[in-house]
């Protein structure tokens, strides 16, 4: 965060400061979401689609408090990860392409994904709102929550593909992101694809509690955020130098010390 102290008072300084603060919301919000993730008993292990209505109803009746705590936390803080992804959008707009269409499409995909995630939180909360209801109703709400949480990966895959395409077309001598970021983003999109099967399969790796749909999908997304934090930190540093709002010697010295 010391870069904020080094940014000179120039017209472009506000852009760098905003990006830097937004970038660091990633680790902060990520920690809060991790706490919520660990607090939800239905993730350890993930609930099975093969559970009977009675088993599902018993789960919600026995774990009501933890379900409410975790899902309210997700609902309040999940949207706060958006500033992190907006730094990616800002950096995509710096790429040497003919238009900003890919950046705006990426923005739309990210917002759509966050909206779907919020809907899944609501379904979990509604199921826990009156746990004494008919087990069949609780089961339907639970199915909705899990399928909406895992299966709608179209917009998530789109955002990874859009970033990969943007990196590919940014083929100038000094690209914003390294070329490997594009390949990594495309690989992450492929890792997310099998999760679409969560809306169809009750058992196996494609079910919502399966290896591919749950563990690979969520693990790939979390790893992408971690990797992009370091990629974006370097990109914002470079932009600060190019815009003349941070001295090259200062940034270079810090990067050298980090190595």
DSSP bridge partners of 43: 46
Q: Please report the pLDDT score of residue 255 as a whole number.
A: 47
Tokens of 81: 């990860």
Distance set, CA 127 to CA 17, 122, 135, 151, 190 (Å) = 42, 9, 10, 19, 32
Q: Please report the pLDDT score of residue 58 as a whole number.
A: 96
* Integer-rounded Cα radius of gyration of the chain: 21
Dihedrals phi, psi of 138, to nearest 5 degrees: -60, -40
Burial of 143 (0-12, 13-18, 19+ CB in 10 A): middle
Rounded to whole angstroms, how far apart are CA atoms 75 and 77?
6
Task: Using 50 as the pLDDT threshold, list the residues of the chain that sit under it.
Answer: 1, 3-5, 8-10, 249-259
Q: Please report the pLDDT score of residue 98 as a whole number.
A: 59
The stretches of 52-207 forming alpha helices (DSSP H) are 53-62, 64-77, 82-93, 101-129, 135-150, 154-169, 179-192
Q: Please report the pLDDT score of residue 240 as a whole number.
A: 87
CA angle 47, 50, 51 (to 5 degrees): 65
pTM of the model: 0.86
Q: Please report the pLDDT score of residue 242 as a whole number.
A: 83
Q: Please report the pLDDT score of residue 12 as a whole number.
A: 61
Q: Please report the pLDDT score of residue 246 as a whole number.
A: 67
């Amino acid at each position: 965060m010391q870069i904020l102290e080094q940014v000179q008072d120039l017209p472009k300084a506000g852009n760098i400061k905003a990006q830097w603060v937004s970038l660091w919301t990633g680790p902060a919000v990520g920690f809060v979401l991790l706490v919520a993730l660990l607090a939800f008993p239905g993730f350890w292990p993930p609930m099975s689609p093969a559970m009977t209505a009675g088993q599902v109803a018993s789960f919600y009746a026995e774990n009501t408090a933890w379900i409410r705590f975790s899902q309210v936390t997700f609902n309040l803080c999940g949207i706060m990860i958006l500033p992190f992804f907006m730094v990616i959008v800002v950096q995509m707009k710096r790429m040497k392409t003919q238009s900003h269409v890919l950046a705006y499409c990426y923005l739309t995909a990210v917002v759509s994904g966050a909206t779907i995630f919020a809907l899944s939180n609501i379904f979990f909360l509604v199921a826990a709102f009156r746990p004494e209801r008919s087990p069949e109703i609780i089961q339907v709400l639970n199915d909705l929550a899990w399928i909406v949480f895992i299966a709608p990966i179209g917009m998530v895959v789109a955002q990874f593909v859009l970033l990969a395409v943007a990196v590919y077309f940014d083929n100038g001598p000094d690209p914003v992101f390294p070329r490997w970021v594009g390949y990594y983003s495309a690989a992450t999109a492929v890792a997310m694809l099998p999760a679409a099967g969560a809306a169809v399969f009750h058992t196996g790796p494609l079910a919502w509690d399966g290896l591919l749909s749950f563990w690979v999908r969520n693990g790939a997304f979390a790893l992408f955020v971690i990797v992009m934090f370091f990629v974006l930190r370097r990109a914002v540093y470079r932009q600060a130098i190019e815009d003349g709002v941070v001295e090259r010697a200062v940034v270079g010295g810090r990067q050298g010390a980090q190595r």
